[in-house]
Amino acid sequence: MKTSSSQWPELTFRGILLGAILTIILTASNVYLGLKVGLTFSSSIPAAVISMAVLGCFKNSNILENNMVQTQVSAAGTLSSVIFVIPGLFIVGYWTYFPFYETLMICLCGGILGVLFTIPLRRAMVVETKLAYPEGRAAAEILKIAQGESREGVKELSLGTILAAITSFLTGGVKLASDGISIGTLIGKMTFVLSAGYSVALLGAGYLVGIAGAIALLVGMLIAWGVLVPYFSYGVPIDGHIVSTAMQIWAQKVRLIGTGTIAIAAIWTLLELSKSVLSGILALMHHARNRHVVNEFNRTEQDLSFKAMLGIFLVVFLVLMATFYSFIQNSGLGIGYQITFTIVGTLLVVLIGFFVAAACGYMAGLVGSSSSPISGIGLIAIISSSLIFLAIGHDLFSNPTLNRFAIALALFTTSVILATAAISNDNLQDLKTGQLVGATPWRQQVALIIGCLFGALAITPVLNLLYQAYGFVGAMPRPDMNPDQALAAPQAVLMSTIAKGIFSGQIAWGYILFGILIGVIVIVIDKVLRRHPSGRYTLPPLAIGIGIYLPASVNIPLVVGGIFAFIIHGILRKRYIEQDAANTKVKQHEQRGTLFASGLIVGESIIGVIIAVLLSFLSARVAAKVPWQ
């Protein structure tokens, strides 16, 4: 079915303007939620819905224009993941106010690198794979319905949306229903905790992810909660509640193991994909030489040209160096060290950035953006950058002031890498939507870069506003403030703790190495399973790592959704087993399921945004009394 036309305008001024306004609202909400509870939401779907409603008022709007608004806004929303690191600079006491230029450049340069790095990956990870991309597919379904393509699907999508909106209003809004439950018990001297989450959006995402991902997540979760937590809790005195003691063990030890598994699984996945990625890069260079062949047939295959990419990359590289220098120049180091750290920092961002961009893009396809452990990727980045800075300036960092500078430098580097990771995670999701609706990839890539610019412009003032209004745990802007209201910024606290641990030589490497060992074992098991003649069995190692790393309350609804899809599709296949065209009929049922699942994701995302906007509005009223520093 043809869903696009080369005549339709994609990137329009009104679209970019609408995107800019939505960016400010959604980014503000995401920054607030991320600092308060450590969660952010995928903004592409709310953006698609709002864009359709607004642009629908114009007679000549089209699906590709809506897709561009969605692309631009989701990039901006995703960029707010930098708040998983930046508050760390306050927590270690290196920053006492928000330097506008540096914060802006962290987001902008990191984001644009994320866009550039995923361009060569598009062919391998979007076009030539069967990865699920749950949010990307959901966004495409919504856009297609607005286009009037599958009118009968409106009913399923709307029903899913309404149900999800009601449940998330009852749980997140008025809190009449809880969003999950945890039960703990002591067996012998070991703690066992069973948790369940009730997010229907994750249920929908699990349905789209499917059975292989669900089983891997389940195995990861069983390793974490069935083996590791009970093992580490053996004989540990219960401090308060059983569940909170177990959660502490999981957060401090088991998550580090999960990070090790994710790291090795990510490297392995990339090695397996490297052939495809390389051919993507070669194809880009080939296009650069044969630009004269442009027609409707290959419009949907055209990425940003190699020359344009190289030009943008060089500009970003130089700006990044200037930003690093500006960060380092007040450290008190000699000029030689200043230049060394500037160059090493910039190179680290580019090299680790490319690695994490590829890993994050793959994770978006495997388990979806909302469930991707971006903070786990941040942990890999903070560990590698800290180790490299430590190797270079080992003798310097015994001085307490320089030691603090080193921790801050590692956090600064990580924040740029995290921006790259988050954007690439979102980027491939958007490019999947684009592929499904027939968008032009290079135009989408331009929209993503515009999105990074607006996102960076929005994040900096919002962060400052929230810091001035509430402060971060352990770093208050003024002495007379209430520490109970401080924003928890849980990931930033974790990253600062790890960086401090590395520079003082007190980090528990055992956990990370053990995680790597688990990863290696799973990789071998996966290899063996894949040899089965039916080709049906896999155990994705990355999903196992994610299962260990994510809270059980996030894993459970994903797993339920995947198993649910498997069971119901099995029943349907039996129903039609003796009929002609059984496969087509089962596919029709599956299509309904996809629409309903997309609705569940839409409803919860939109209510999430509304609740966050209301909360941010309340906090802004408090902050209005505080001057900008």
Residues that bind another protein (CB under 8 A): 156, 159-160, 163-164, 167, 170-171, 175-181, 196, 198, 200, 203, 207, 557, 560, 564, 568, 571-572, 585, 588-590, 592-593, 596-597, 600
Shortest Cβ 167–another protein spacing (Å): 5
Nearer to another protein, 14 or 589 (CB): 589
Tokens 């001085």 belong to residue: 399
Q: How far apart are CA 622 and CA 616, in angstroms?
A: 10
Between 274 and 588, CB nearer to another protein: 588
Nearer to another protein, 170 or 267 (CB): 170
CA 186 to chain centre: 35
Cβ proximity to another protein: between 426 and 604 the closer is 604
The closest alpha carbon to 360, from 125, 52, 62, 97, belongs to 125
Q: How far is the CB of 246 from another protein (least distance, A)?
A: 18
Structure token digits, residue 432: 């999947």
To the nearest whole angstrom, how small is the minimum distance from the Cβ of residue 617 to another protein?
25
Q: Which residues contact 614 (CB under 8 A, 6 or more apart)?
A: none
Cβ-based neighbours of 515, under 8 Å, separated by 6 or more: 256, 257, 258, 259, 260, 261, 262, 263, 264, 545, 548
Least Å from the CB of residue 568 to another protein: 6
Of 109 and 165, CB closest to another protein: 165
What phi, psi does 331 have (nearest 5°)?
-75, -20
Q: What single letter denotes the amino acid at residue 584?
A: T
Written as six digits, the tokens of 353 are 């950035």
Taking the least distance from each CB to another protein, the nearer of 443 and 569 is: 569
CB of 169 to another protein, least distance (A): 11
Residue (207 or 549) nearer to another protein, CB: 207
The residue (of 176 and 187) whose beta carbon lies closer to another protein is 176
Residue with Cβ nearer another protein (181 or 521): 181
8 A C-beta contact, residue 450 and residue 475: no
CB of 165 to another protein, least distance (A): 11
- Which one, 446 or 554, has the nearer CB to another protein? 554
Output the smallest distance, CB 595 to another protein, in A. 9
- Name the 3-class secondary structure at 184: strand
Minimum CB distance to another protein, residue 140 (Å): 19
Q: Are 195 and 550 in contact (CB under 8 A)?
A: no
Q: By the 8 A CB rule, do 110 and 353 touch?
A: yes
Which residues, in sequence order, are bridge partners of residue 181?
196
Distance CA 92, CA 327 (A): 15
Tell the burial category of 563 from Cβ atoms under 10 Å away from its Cβ (0-12, 13-18, 19+).
Answer: middle
Q: How far is the CB of 562 from another protein (least distance, A)?
A: 13
Q: Report yes or no: 68 and 11 within 8 Å, Cβ to Cβ.
A: yes
d(CA 135, CA 205): 7
Is residue 147 within 8 A of residue 582, CB to CB? The reply is no
The runs of H, that is alpha helices, within 250-373 are 255-289, 296-299, 306-328, 335-367
Nearer to another protein, 1 or 176 (CB): 176
Give the span between the Cα atoms of 19 and 621, in whole angstroms.
Answer: 25
Task: Name residue, tokens 């600092």.
Answer: 35
Q: What is the largest CA-CA distance in the chain?
A: 80
Whichever of 217 and 320 has its CB closer to another protein, that residue is: 217
We find the least distance from the C-beta atom of residue 573 to another protein, in angstroms, to be 12
Provide, rounded to whole angstroms, the least separation between the CB of residue 134 and another protein: 15
Identify each DSSP E strand in 136-200 by its residue range.
180-187, 190-197
- Rounded to a whole number of angstroms, the minimum distance from the CB of residue 206 to another protein is 11
Q: How many CA atoms, within 13 angstroms, populate the side-chain half-sphere of residue 263?
A: 23
User: Closest Cα partner for 121 from 373, 523, 429, 374?
Assistant: 429
List beta partners, residue 191: 186
